[in-house]
């Protein structure tokens, strides 16, 4: 195989591999200490929710009161697709399941709520039991 053909093959394989991957690059990657995710509050800056990635999970952190937070798993409880935030909650792009802002299943094909993780906070950080 000539050099040019080889490089073209590598570029094609790389492109196909990247397209097939589930991207988590837009999600904040928190510290993981003592079975807890540690998320600096500065990442919330003027947002009521944002997402973090840990291992193969995406977790939404939602401010729910002055210093109270909810952590929701972002994989649909039907077949595991990554759900998307909408104004009043979350929808699943795969088969149309809908969840409210705290993860309660509103519309099928699933009636199982999103998983919720225990949270705690201090002046600096939000902690998610994981």
> Applying CB under 6 A, which residues contact ligand FES?
76, 78-79, 81, 92, 94-97, 109
Name the minimum Å distance from CB 126 to ligand FES: 27
Encode 25-56 in three state secondary structure. CCCECCEEECCEEEEEHHHCCCCCEEEEEECC
Neighbours of 47 (CB within 10 A): 10
Least distance to ligand FES, CB of residue 98, Å? 9
The nearest distance, CB 22 to ligand FES, in angstroms, is: 13
Nearer residue to ligand FES within complex by CB, 27 or 109: 109
CA dihedral of 86, 89, 93, 98, whole degrees rounded to 10: -140
By C-beta, is 97 or 128 nearer to ligand FES? 97
- Name which of 37 and 92 has its Cβ closer to ligand FES: 92
Give the number of residues written for the chain: 130
């Amino acid at each position: 195989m000539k050099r040019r053909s080889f490089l073209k093959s590598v570029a094609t394989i790389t492109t196909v591999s990247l397209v097939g991957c589930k991207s988590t690059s837009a999600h904040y990657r928190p510290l993981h200490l003592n079975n807890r995710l540690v998320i600096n509050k500065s990442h919330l800056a003027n947002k009521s929710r944002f997402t973090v990635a840990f291992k193969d999970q995406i977790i939404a952190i939602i401010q729910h009161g002055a210093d109270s937070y909810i952590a929701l798993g972002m994989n649909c409880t039907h077949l595991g697709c990554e759900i998307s935030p909408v104004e009043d909650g979350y929808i699943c792009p795969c088969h149309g399941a809908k969840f409210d802002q705290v993860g309660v299943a509103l519309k099928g094909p699933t009636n199982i709520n999103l998983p919720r993780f225990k949270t705690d906070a201090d002046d600096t950080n939000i902690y998610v039991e994981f």
